[in-house]
Chain A
Amino acid sequence: GIQVEQSPPDLILQEGANSTLRCNFSDSVNNLQWFHQNPWGQLINLFYIPSGTKQNGRLSATTVATERYSLLYISSSQTTDSGVYFCAVALETSGSRLTFGEGTQLTVNP
């Protein structure tokens, strides 16, 4: 099956810092989504981004499908950004059967 690798596995920031999270995948995908899991376990969809660039406030994401990677940018980080960020992808042939990476654990300190 498709492999999804996220880096770094852990990231500790001071409030106000910027960060870049990376997601590499091993095959062609037609579905790529970024999620934030907050400390209470809730999963929030951040972006549906199989290709191109999107921005939502302090967060933005870029997917380069031909090179099989996606980046999530967090600017001016806040303590509420803490949690685990997951990248999930689906193959062109597998519909919405998402395969998740193992996540990046982000801690933002005040």
Chain B
Amino acid sequence: NAGVTQTPKFQVLKTGQSMTLQCAQDMNHEYMSWYRQDPGMGLRLIHYSVGAGITDQGEVPNGYNVSRSTTEDFPLRLLSAAPSQTSVYFCASSYDRGNTIYFGEGSWLTVV
């Protein structure tokens, strides 16, 4: 099993550009989520999904969209990048709500 795979690992964007961070898991997990981590801070939840076709907002959803068309994939879209979205983004998955969460290796995004 590859676990949780995120791409790209590093990305530089100009203000106003859009992009998609990809996340895929091969563990047949129902729960998937996206977090961002800013310097010196813990992780904050952006969006999450409890299964294919079902998504909901987390703590900091503004400026981001998600969709969940399959169990395996949960892409995060930045609609119009802003410098405040410079951060490290982590995708995570778990079998269900009461189980261990597994993280991808992170995507470092810089918006200039």
Mark A residues whose CB is within 8 Å of B: 1, 4, 30-31, 33, 35, 41-45, 48, 50, 86, 88, 90, 95-103
Contacts and interface: CB of A to CB of B under 8 A. Distances in A.
Interface stretch (B17-25, B70-78, B101-109): B101-109
A30 B98 contact: yes
Given A42-B106, A86-B43, A98 B101 contact: yes
Given A43-B90, A43-B103, A45-B102, A96 B42 contact: no
11 contacts: A4-B42, A35-B103, A43-B90, A44-B103, A45-B101, A45-B103, A95-B31, A96-B98, A99-B45, A102-B40, A102-B41
A97 B45 contact: yes
Interface string B81-112: 00000001010001011111111011000000
A61 to B, nearest CB: 13
Given A43-B90, A95-B50, A95-B97, A100 B44 contact: yes
Contact size class for B? 20 to 34
Interface of B: 31, 33, 35, 40-45, 48, 50, 58-59, 88, 90, 94, 96-103, 105-106
A21 B44 CA distance: 21
B100 A42 contact: no
Name the 4 nearest CB pairs between A and B, nearest first.
A100-B42, A95-B97, A43-B103, A96-B97
Contacts of B97: 31, 90, 95-96
Contacts of B102: 45
Nearest to B102: A45
Contacts of A33: 100-101
B19 to A, nearest CB: 20
Contacts of B99: 48, 96
A100 B40 CA distance: 12
Contacts of A48: 99-101
Contacts of B40: 102
A100 B94 CA distance: 16
B74 to A, nearest CB: 13
A104 to B, nearest CB: 11
